A and B are shown apart, each in its own frame.
Chain A
Amino acid sequence: MEESPYGIQSKKLAIWLFIIADAATFGAILFAYGYLRVANPDWTRPFEFWPTIANGIAMTVALLTSSLTMIGAVQSAQAGWKSASVRWLGVTMALGLVFVLLLLREWSGMIAAGWRLSRNPLGGSVLFGATFFGITGLHLLHVIAGVVAIAVIASGFNRDRLDAGHVETTGLYWHFVNLVQLFVFPLVYLMNVR
């Protein structure tokens, strides 16, 4: 059989292609946000340090730390330490769930304050809610999908039905989802500080 020009398994190449396509999707949605923001001089900048920015910092740190624990899982899997890898995967899922809970807390606070997809309680552009909930919602879906994927992979790896390559492939997706937060936090949170 002819060797792959990239020297990697086909599933790893497939996840890289998905990641590049998904990065273009997030790029497009962030460009749309930038367009709407520039075109609306009455754009609202509602965020205070407490609770929104502090919450955003905690979410970002949780995701970055989960990347580190995912590396622990991949390295343990490659070394053949199954139980250690599954434990690291469990910690990674827990950190992902921390992110989910923090974002849902942020959303519930904003909804209680009157923010909706097409309503701005502060009287500025109504597009703020659409872009904020749209961008963070798309990212939230990716994180939830990642947590579910890690749970499935951890279960399969624990039962010897999946191998270290599957853990590594899931890790690539998880790192990508975390890198998206490195753009969402400054552009959607910090650029909207009052």
Chain B
Amino acid sequence: MAEVVTLTEAVRELVHDGDTVAFEGFTHLIPHAAGHEVIRQGRHDLTLVRLTPDVIYDQLIGMGCASRLIFSWGGNPGVGSLHRLRDAVEHGWPVPLEIEEHSHAGMAAAYSAGAANLPFGVLRGYAGTDLPAHTPTASWIDCPFTGERLAAVRALRPDVGIVHAQRADPAGNVQLWGISGVQKETVLASARALVTVEEIVPELTPRPGATILPGWVVTAVAAAPGGAHPSYAHGYYDRDNDFYRRWDAISRDRDRFQEWMRRHVLETRDVGEYRSSLAEAATA
């Protein structure tokens, strides 16, 4: 059964220097609060995994937590570049960042293989592109039945999978709905799984179309209300599109970025303080 703990305890226990960590979320339910806690606790040398690294990965990378990134699309959706990611790849600041690059379909197949305890995933893809020349975890396999040559991608098996969801019960059973990305696969592919939730309720009421992660596949659950911001939690709050737009200017400059991180992440203790610090900055 999942242990219900504080986010501080969960990160301390589950995320170690040098780990491969997947903070998943496809635009929706991105585990920002967990990422902030990893930054506060000063983890480094992490291999970060995600289809769509966005602002929270920009922050982790810019704070020097990561030495490697496995991904398929790294940008600020609808806005432009991730400047901290670019600075790390283009100039090695603050530390060099190795990259391992796939397509979304390839990453999805790799997570699915990991969840299914297979050594690799298979798909029609990569052929004719320059990706396989740079990505040793993408290769080829001949179908034993038809002879068709298909792409093979090495299974993703993160040390820790971290996702955000709407609700959990005291036994750590998790319920999430709306756009669900690859969260289920991430939890099932990872050696340890941490789920942050908007709220812990006495009992989960059934909801059509919701994904259930039983407590016995989750290592720890931590309450982090508002913990997806600036991403959103369907049924709780909307995506803060304006924040994504503002992040472009904040992250463009190294000093401004560091100052922002100090004020809103390093000098806050949890989501509540982070949100208050943002509100104060907005009215200042």
A interacts with B? no
